[in-house]
Amino acid sequence: MIKSKQDKKRIFRELASLMTEQRNINTMDIDTKSTKEIIKLINEDDKKVAYAVEKEISYIANAVEIIVECFKKGGRLFYTGAGTSGRLGVLDATECPPTFGTNPEMVQGIIAGGEKALVQAIEGAEDHSEEGANEIIKRGITSKDVVVGIAASKRTPYVIGALKKARSIGAGTIFVICNPRSQMDIDVDVSICPMVGPEVIMGSTRMKAGTAEKMVLNMLTTAAMIRLGKVYKNMMIDLQATSQKLVERSKRVIMIATGLDYDAAEKALKKADGSVKVAIVMIKTNLGYNQAIDLSKKADGFVRKAIELEKPTVFMQKDKNKEKRE
């Protein structure tokens, strides 16, 4: 679509005002540097990312609470973005099933331009806000769901269209951008704004901005899954053993959690029908498979809580056995 000269100038002014589109004063002569010097300049700039994300912790925590409540009500989490931001959303969504045993419908990634855009740049796809809105309708998003928009610049029409449509439906809305919160003029429940500053190469937001976005998305889903009981201590217990590596990882988690040796952990995993969580509950409580599942449900999926719920029963049984011997 050919835009008017007025529209073109407006977009030009928008870009010129963005922090992510400014020149980096530390890399003005990067094109004169040796390979090692270039790498050092990139590395020095990358060090700023974690600190920028750290300043947004309270906002990230608020976003996690919204996502957790969504999941508890049977809702879904949708990421929407274009280009690098869209690919990062799809990546995080794709990693949830094998890592946390979630249904693929639970966390989904939407990228401007569709699946083709995952492996091929389709830059023009981000310019159409109506396409973002249409995708929200197409996915059947409801007030139970949460939509996370990802756009380093904050101005991506596709993402803004999706967020506005989601909000009009009553869905939770979160916006991850890498420009100042003071420039946020999109109505959402939570905005997360790690300000990483100008890129080493002007406007190349696949660099620091992309890294910051990846860190934030990691926090959103990982913290939410921990809050849902999918982690015991600091170990994945709902992972799907869909490869030999994950089968062996499952055994190792059982061994660490229970003190069993390799062969015993392998047998326990089979008895638990491949579920690490159920295996740990069975071993820790001396319960059978069905009882362990029932106890886990009673504990809302939390292994610690399941074990604590059963402890009084275990101790009472031990006391009764002691009385009989005496």
- Active site (catalytic) residues: 95, 126
As beta bridge partners, residue 172 has 146
Residue 50 vs residues 105, 193, 213, 214, 218: alpha-carbon distances, Å: 30, 13, 11, 11, 13
Which tokens in the block code for residue 216? 């934030």
Which tokens in the block code for residue 15? 């870009």
Instruction: Say which residues have a Cβ less than 8 Å from residue 10's Cβ, sequence separation at least 6.
Output: none
Q: Considering all CA atoms of the chain, what is the largest pairwise distance in Å, rounded to the nearest integer?
A: 95
Instruction: Say which residues have a Cβ less than 8 Å from residue 32's Cβ, sequence separation at least 6.
Output: none
Q: Chain-centre distance of CA 89, in angstroms?
A: 8
Position 147: which residue type? Answer: V
Q: Any long-range contacts for 127-130 (C-beta under 8 Å, 24+ apart)?
A: 127/1, 127/157, 127/158, 128/157, 128/158, 128/161, 129/157, 129/158, 129/160, 129/161, 129/164, 130/161
- Per-residue buried b or exposed e for 207-224, using 16+ beta carbons within 10 Å of the residue's own CB: bbbbbbbbbbbebbbbbb
The answer to whether 73 touches 144, Cβ cutoff 8 Å, is yes
H or E element that contains 203: none
